[in-house]
Amino acid sequence: MSVLSILEFPDPRLRIKAEPVTVFDATLKQFADDMFETMYAANGVGLAATQVNVHKRVLVADMSEERNQPLALINAEILEKDGTQVYQEGCLSFPGIYADVTRALKVKVRAQDVEGRTFEREVEGPLAVCIQHEMDHLVGKVFVDYLSPLKRSILLKRMEKQRKQVASA
């Protein structure tokens, strides 16, 4: 396994729409394992393939404290949404930036596992937020797109300031 490089906003590759996965093989399994390792190393709870510059419909998530409930979703699609929730989201492509985003409280998702088997799962709360967030990445959307232009501008200026501080340290 290896830790992959995570793209940071405003990298234009974060806006590329991912293609469906059509080959379910050892390479895909290894990629999913690498995505989990990358996510865990970065202390994240979700990661989309787009964020590591692979434009395939693959996302991984693990909301557990023990980091022992890995979930890989290949070619995921949301079948149903219910309710709303406001959740403070962060993103590995936006280090140190957090904002309240309104999303569905519950989602029913259909996806394939790394073997190509189709399954459906109903999730709610933080995991539902995570899946919606990562699925957005796969269509070239990022969480700051949900914010007002003013709020987005403030957060992006803050992120740029943090980058400059890190670079000069």
Supply the residues annotated as catalytic.
134
Q: Classify strands 71-82 and 58-61 as parallel, antiparallel or unpaired.
A: antiparallel
Map residue 135 onto helix, strand or coil. helix
Residue found under tokens 């990298």: 11
* CB-facing half-sphere around the CA of 71: CA atoms within 13 A: 22
**Measured distance CA(14)–CA(145) in Å, rounded:** 12
* Cis amide prior to 12 (ω within 30 degrees): no
Output DSSP code: residue 15: G
Output DSSP code: residue 65: T
Question: Of all helices (H) and strands (E), which one includes residue 31?
Answer: helix 26-41
Residues 6+ apart with CB under 8 A from 53: 5, 7, 13
